[in-house]
Amino acid sequence: MNIIIHDVGMRDGLQIEKDLIPLEKKIEWIKKLMDSGIDIIQMGSFVNPKKVPSMADTEQLFIQLNKIKKPSTVFSALVLNEKGVERGMSVDVEMFCMGVSASETHSQKNTGMSVSEATERIIAMAKECIKAGKKVQVSVQSAFGCGFEGKIPEERVISIVEKYLEAGIKNISLADTAGHGNPEKVEKLYSAIFKLDSTVECACHFHNTYGLGLLNCYTAMKAGVKYIETAFGGLGGCPFTKSPAGNVSTEDFVHLLQQLDIRQDIKLDKVIEIAKDTSSFFKRELPGMIYKIGKLREM
């Protein structure tokens, strides 16, 4: 099973934190993520620094770390609009992530745009990035439910996916922004997408709001999802959703994979070390489990 881990801790994990992290500490964590063998590292987002101050140094991270990036590692960044793409291009971002919320309320709070307007603009941005030779991942946010609107109709999610596919964009993520996903929803939605196009490369992004994140990741894997987005320590949460909660913990997910004899190449101890250091930095316990109790060892 070819599972690719996309750690979003540096972006989704830190964007909600009130304490600003020094650039040197961020660089230290990213270097450790690289050394651990994590496939894709989301360095930050190109957003308004007044709204999300913790992302103000994203350009500097790319400028400094692109010089030492390992060939096996991909650096990604989130962009919300054309200005973000422009900023990302200026520092040679390798992989652009962008998305549309299936919730009108969340879309307005997150981007100031309607779902239809956001979809049109995101597709245009994605095409621009692909034309420039960049890797692109598009997402449907609030795909499994919304903290403001509740249930999101499956047809609305699929209609956005169809527009992506019509535009020739094949790397598509479903994001459980509010943490409303459950295994049945996960299996149903991904099965519907693979019926549309069996060659699509699907990703998943689950928040652990109601404790189902790791189970949903496993269900997505079994459904054929290749890219799994997690965050070290289980950090994170969208600042523009009703009940923000952390992502699935990277070290917890890697531990699960290795219990299944998958991705033994990843140095779990390195990821655990990052989570411990992050917990120490913020002076609080993080949501992740494995960094606290250690990995399961065969007797």
Structure confidence by residue, pLDDT tens digits, 1-11: 699 999 999 99
Q: What is the pLDDT of residues 255-275, one digit of tens each?
A: 999 999 999 999 999 999 999
Q: Does 238 participate in catalysis according to the annotation? A: yes
CB neighbour class for 236 (10 Å; exposed up to 12, middle 13-18, buried from 19): buried
What is the pLDDT at residue 229? 98
Q: What is the DSSP letter of 246?
A: P
Does the domain spanning 4-293 belong to CATH 3.20.20.70? yes
DSSP string, 248-284: PBHHHHHHHHHHTT--TTS-HHHHHHHHHHHHHHHTS
- Which residue has tokens 């956005």? 160
**Residue 242 token pair:** 């009703």
Rg (CA), the chain: 18
> What are the residue ranges spanned by the domains of the chain?
4-293
**pLDDT score of 120:** 94
Question: In Å, how far from its chain's centre is CA 299?
Answer: 35
Question: Of the residues 97, 129, 146, 238, which is catalytic?
Answer: 238
286, 287, 292, 293 alpha-carbon torsion, rounded to 10°: 180
Q: What is the pLDDT of residues 46-80, one digit of tens each?
A: 999 988 999 999 999 999 999 999 999 999 999 99
Exposed e or buried b per residue across 241-276, where buried means at least 16 C-beta atoms within 10 angstroms of its C-beta: beebbbbbbbbbbbbbbbeeeebeebebebbbbbbb
Q: Indicate if the pLDDT at residue 109 is higher than 80.
A: no
H or E segment and range at residue 157: helix 154-166
Spatial distance between the Cα atoms of 259 and 239, rounded to a whole number of angstroms: 33
**Separation CA 256–CA 178 (nearest Å):** 23
